[in-house]
A = this chain, B = another copy of it.
Amino acid sequence: MSRPPRARASVLDAFEDLLVESGERAATMDAIAKAAGVSKGGLLYHYASKEALETALLERLDELVEADIARIEQAPEGSVAYFLRSSVLHDDPLDRAIIATSRLAQGGSAHAGAALRSIRERWEATIRPHVRDRVTLELVMLVSDGLYFNNTLDDQSVPGPVPTGEALDALIALVEATVRP
Protein backbone atom coordinates (compact mmCIF):
# COMPACT_ATOMS: atom_id res chain seq x y z
CA MET A 1 0.00 0.00 0.00
CA SER A 2 2.73 2.46 0.89
CA ARG A 3 4.60 4.26 -1.87
CA PRO A 4 2.88 2.63 -4.85
CA PRO A 5 5.00 3.02 -7.99
CA ARG A 6 4.05 5.93 -10.21
CA ALA A 7 3.69 3.69 -13.24
CA ARG A 8 1.14 1.53 -11.48
CA ALA A 9 -1.20 4.44 -10.89
CA SER A 10 -0.76 5.82 -14.39
CA VAL A 11 -1.68 2.44 -15.88
CA LEU A 12 -4.90 2.43 -13.90
CA ASP A 13 -5.57 6.04 -14.93
CA ALA A 14 -5.05 5.12 -18.57
CA PHE A 15 -7.46 2.20 -18.27
CA GLU A 16 -10.09 4.43 -16.71
CA ASP A 17 -9.59 7.18 -19.29
CA LEU A 18 -9.98 4.82 -22.20
CA LEU A 19 -13.16 3.35 -20.75
CA VAL A 20 -14.64 6.80 -20.14
CA GLU A 21 -13.61 8.46 -23.39
CA SER A 22 -13.85 5.61 -25.86
CA GLY A 23 -15.75 2.69 -24.33
CA GLU A 24 -14.82 -0.82 -23.40
CA ARG A 25 -13.90 -1.98 -26.90
CA ALA A 26 -11.14 0.59 -27.03
CA ALA A 27 -9.68 -0.31 -23.65
CA THR A 28 -7.34 -3.06 -24.83
CA MET A 29 -4.11 -3.96 -23.07
CA ASP A 30 -2.17 -2.50 -25.99
CA ALA A 31 -4.04 0.77 -25.92
CA ILE A 32 -3.74 1.03 -22.14
CA ALA A 33 0.01 0.43 -22.26
CA LYS A 34 0.45 3.00 -24.99
CA ALA A 35 -1.65 5.61 -23.16
CA ALA A 36 0.27 4.98 -19.93
CA GLY A 37 3.61 5.27 -21.70
CA VAL A 38 4.79 1.76 -20.89
CA SER A 39 5.19 -1.41 -22.87
CA LYS A 40 2.72 -4.25 -22.64
CA GLY A 41 5.24 -6.20 -20.62
CA GLY A 42 5.62 -3.29 -18.26
CA LEU A 43 1.88 -3.06 -17.83
CA LEU A 44 1.62 -6.76 -17.08
CA TYR A 45 4.28 -6.50 -14.42
CA HIS A 46 1.94 -4.25 -12.43
CA TYR A 47 -1.35 -5.89 -13.35
CA ALA A 48 -0.99 -9.53 -14.27
CA SER A 49 -4.25 -9.67 -16.18
CA LYS A 50 -7.10 -7.57 -17.40
CA GLU A 51 -9.20 -8.89 -14.55
CA ALA A 52 -6.61 -7.56 -12.09
CA LEU A 53 -6.97 -4.16 -13.72
CA GLU A 54 -10.75 -4.30 -13.33
CA THR A 55 -10.43 -5.30 -9.69
CA ALA A 56 -8.11 -2.37 -9.06
CA LEU A 57 -10.61 0.01 -10.67
CA LEU A 58 -13.36 -1.32 -8.44
CA GLU A 59 -11.17 -0.83 -5.38
CA ARG A 60 -10.41 2.73 -6.36
CA LEU A 61 -14.12 3.33 -6.85
CA ASP A 62 -14.86 1.96 -3.43
CA GLU A 63 -12.44 4.35 -1.74
CA LEU A 64 -13.79 7.33 -3.66
CA VAL A 65 -17.35 6.46 -2.70
CA GLU A 66 -16.39 6.22 0.96
CA ALA A 67 -14.98 9.74 0.84
CA ASP A 68 -18.02 10.97 -1.11
CA ILE A 69 -20.41 9.67 1.52
CA ALA A 70 -18.54 11.55 4.20
CA ARG A 71 -18.89 14.72 2.13
CA ILE A 72 -22.63 14.14 1.56
CA GLU A 73 -23.21 13.86 5.29
CA GLN A 74 -21.34 17.06 6.07
CA ALA A 75 -22.44 19.25 3.16
CA PRO A 76 -23.45 22.71 4.41
CA GLU A 77 -26.01 23.17 1.60
CA GLY A 78 -27.76 19.98 2.74
CA SER A 79 -27.25 16.33 1.90
CA VAL A 80 -29.92 16.07 -0.80
CA ALA A 81 -28.79 19.19 -2.63
CA TYR A 82 -25.15 18.17 -2.45
CA PHE A 83 -25.93 14.62 -3.57
CA LEU A 84 -27.87 15.77 -6.62
CA ARG A 85 -25.38 18.46 -7.54
CA SER A 86 -22.50 16.00 -7.38
CA SER A 87 -24.44 13.60 -9.62
CA VAL A 88 -24.04 15.92 -12.55
CA LEU A 89 -20.35 16.71 -12.37
CA HIS A 90 -18.16 15.40 -15.11
CA ASP A 91 -14.53 15.45 -14.41
CA ASP A 92 -13.95 14.67 -10.80
CA PRO A 93 -12.27 11.35 -9.99
CA LEU A 94 -15.40 9.74 -8.56
CA ASP A 95 -17.53 10.44 -11.59
CA ARG A 96 -14.87 9.09 -13.91
CA ALA A 97 -14.56 5.93 -11.84
CA ILE A 98 -18.33 5.44 -11.87
CA ILE A 99 -18.60 5.96 -15.60
CA ALA A 100 -15.70 3.57 -16.24
CA THR A 101 -17.32 0.95 -14.00
CA SER A 102 -20.62 1.46 -15.76
CA ARG A 103 -18.95 0.67 -19.08
CA LEU A 104 -17.60 -2.57 -17.67
CA ALA A 105 -21.00 -3.45 -16.22
CA GLN A 106 -22.71 -2.96 -19.57
CA GLY A 107 -19.99 -4.97 -21.25
CA GLY A 108 -21.02 -7.92 -19.12
CA SER A 109 -18.87 -7.77 -15.99
CA ALA A 110 -20.90 -9.14 -13.08
CA HIS A 111 -18.44 -7.67 -10.57
CA ALA A 112 -18.85 -4.19 -11.98
CA GLY A 113 -22.63 -4.51 -11.93
CA ALA A 114 -22.57 -5.63 -8.32
CA ALA A 115 -20.28 -2.74 -7.41
CA LEU A 116 -22.70 -0.22 -8.90
CA ARG A 117 -25.64 -1.73 -7.05
CA SER A 118 -23.65 -1.62 -3.83
CA ILE A 119 -22.79 2.06 -4.30
CA ARG A 120 -26.41 2.85 -4.88
CA GLU A 121 -27.38 1.14 -1.63
CA ARG A 122 -24.77 3.08 0.32
CA TRP A 123 -25.95 6.37 -1.12
CA GLU A 124 -29.54 5.45 -0.42
CA ALA A 125 -28.76 4.71 3.22
CA THR A 126 -26.98 8.05 3.50
CA ILE A 127 -29.86 10.05 2.01
CA ARG A 128 -32.66 8.19 3.85
CA PRO A 129 -32.53 10.29 7.06
CA HIS A 130 -32.83 13.49 5.04
CA VAL A 131 -36.10 12.81 3.23
CA ARG A 132 -39.71 12.42 4.26
CA ASP A 133 -40.41 8.79 3.39
CA ARG A 134 -39.73 5.83 1.11
CA VAL A 135 -41.33 7.39 -1.94
CA THR A 136 -39.41 10.62 -1.75
CA LEU A 137 -36.23 8.62 -1.22
CA GLU A 138 -36.95 6.79 -4.48
CA LEU A 139 -37.46 10.10 -6.21
CA VAL A 140 -34.09 11.48 -5.12
CA MET A 141 -32.30 8.27 -6.04
CA LEU A 142 -33.91 8.07 -9.48
CA VAL A 143 -33.11 11.68 -10.33
CA SER A 144 -29.51 11.00 -9.34
CA ASP A 145 -29.46 7.81 -11.44
CA GLY A 146 -30.91 9.77 -14.34
CA LEU A 147 -28.19 12.41 -14.06
CA TYR A 148 -25.49 9.74 -13.98
CA PHE A 149 -26.99 7.84 -16.88
CA ASN A 150 -26.93 10.94 -19.02
CA ASN A 151 -23.32 11.51 -18.00
CA THR A 152 -22.39 8.09 -19.29
CA LEU A 153 -24.01 8.81 -22.66
CA ASP A 154 -22.50 12.25 -23.03
CA ASP A 155 -20.29 12.48 -25.94
CA GLN A 156 -17.50 14.96 -25.48
CA SER A 157 -18.45 17.14 -28.42
CA VAL A 158 -22.20 17.61 -27.93
CA PRO A 159 -23.39 19.08 -24.64
CA GLY A 160 -25.60 16.66 -22.75
CA PRO A 161 -29.32 17.10 -22.17
CA VAL A 162 -28.74 17.49 -18.44
CA PRO A 163 -29.37 20.81 -16.66
CA THR A 164 -26.52 23.02 -15.51
CA GLY A 165 -26.27 26.42 -13.84
CA GLU A 166 -29.61 28.00 -12.99
CA ALA A 167 -31.63 25.12 -14.46
CA LEU A 168 -29.83 22.72 -12.13
CA ASP A 169 -30.43 25.04 -9.17
CA ALA A 170 -34.14 25.13 -10.00
CA LEU A 171 -34.32 21.35 -10.32
CA ILE A 172 -32.61 20.85 -6.98
CA ALA A 173 -34.94 23.37 -5.34
CA LEU A 174 -37.94 21.53 -6.77
CA VAL A 175 -36.76 18.14 -5.56
CA GLU A 176 -35.85 19.50 -2.14
CA ALA A 177 -39.23 21.12 -1.68
CA THR A 178 -40.88 17.83 -2.63
CA VAL A 179 -38.88 15.50 -0.41
CA ARG A 180 -38.08 17.59 2.68
CA PRO A 181 -39.16 15.77 5.85
Is A116 engaged at the interface, CB distance under 8 Å to the other chain? Answer: yes
Give the distance in Å from the alpha carbon of A147 to the alpha carbon of B109 in the complex. 20
Query: Distance (Å) between the CB of A60 and the closest chain B CB?
Result: 19
Chain A residues at the B interface, C-beta cutoff of 8 Å: 22-26, 102-103, 105-110, 113-114, 116-117, 120-121, 124, 134-136, 138-139, 141-150, 152-153, 155, 158, 161-163, 167, 170-171, 174-175, 178
Known contacts A23-B108, A103-B106; 10 further A-B pairs (Cβ under 8 A): A25-B107, A102-B106, A105-B153, A135-B170, A138-B163, A138-B167, A139-B174, A142-B146, A145-B146, A174-B178
- Which of B134, B155, B163, B178 is in CB contact (< 8 Å) with A178? B178
- Cβ of A113 and Cβ of B155 under 8 Å apart? yes
Known A161-B120, A178-B174; judge A106-B108 contact (CB<8 A).
no
- Cβ of A167 and Cβ of B24 under 8 Å apart? no
